[in-house]
Amino acid sequence: MKVILRQDVPDLGKAGQTLEVKPGYGRNFLIPRNLAIPATKANLKAIGEIGKQTQIRERKKKRGAEQIKDKLEKLSLTIEVLVGEEDKIFGSVTSQNIAELLMVQGMTIDKRDILLEEPIKSLGIYTVPIKIDKEIIANVKTWVVRKP
């Protein structure tokens, strides 16, 4: 069965793409969920419009992500932590802590989008990467300091 994708479908294809799929998958999954339409002559003519709309939507999304990246990179976060002897932190600074600080700053970022390789366990200045979109990653300067 030939179908035209209306939206991006993971592991299948991008919006506007014409694909050959098994009849049951197309009839029972893709078409009822409005992810695809049958590839008829009329629908094939309309495919160009779907592609244009998708490109416009992608450009808008990318522009918005670039603006968020600029805002994030201007921020400088300061995390105050309790320390013991030899400036050793009690606990650690995790992506959850950073997400909460960003929330206070007015930026809503999911903790799963904060790409810390491992929790921060010592005082210092760190550059924390934050995934905003597929290809857009912002680097936020984070200061981990001693709590007075």
Residue-level pLDDT at 74: 92
Q: Select from 81, 71, 41 the least CA-distant residue to 132.
A: 71
Domain boundaries 75-146, CATH class: alpha beta
Q: pLDDT, tens digit, for every residue of 8-34?
A: 888 898 888 889 999 999 999 999 999
Handedness of CA 13, 18, 20, 23 (dihedral sign): positive
Alpha-carbon distance of 146 to 134, in angstroms, equals 35
Q: Select from 106, 54, 46 the least CA-distant residue to 75.
A: 106
CB 50 within 8 A of CB 44: no
CA-based R_g, the chain, Å: 23
Handedness of CA 57, 61, 63, 64 (dihedral sign): positive
Please enumerate in sequence order all residues whose Cβ is within 8 A of that of 18, keeping only pairs 6 or more positions apart, or say none: 2, 3, 4, 5, 39, 44, 47
Is the model's pLDDT at 134 over the cut of 80? yes
The kind and range of the H/E element at 139 are strand 137-146
- Average model confidence (pLDDT) across the chain: 90
Residue 40 carries which side chain, given as an amino acid letter? Answer: T
Q: What are the residue boundaries of the structural domains of the chain, listed by start?
A: 2-63, 75-146
**Average pLDDT, stretch 66-72?**
92
Q: How confident is the model at residue 115 (pLDDT cuts 50, 70, 90)?
A: very high
Q: At CA 46, angle to CA 16 and CA 135, rounded to 5?
A: 25
Q: Select from 69, 77, 78, 116 the least CA-distant residue to 96.
A: 116
Q: pLDDT, tens digit, for every residue of 30-58?
A: 999 999 999 988 888 777 777 788 789 88
Residue-level pLDDT at 60: 94
Is the model's pLDDT at 132 over the cut of 80? yes
**Average pLDDT, stretch 124-135?**
92
Q: Answer yes or no: same fold for 2-63 and 75-146.
A: no
Write the CATH number of the domain with boundaries 2-63.
3.40.5.10
Residue-level pLDDT at 88: 83
pTM of the model: 0.69
Residue-level pLDDT at 52: 81
Is the model's pLDDT at 89 over the cut of 80? yes
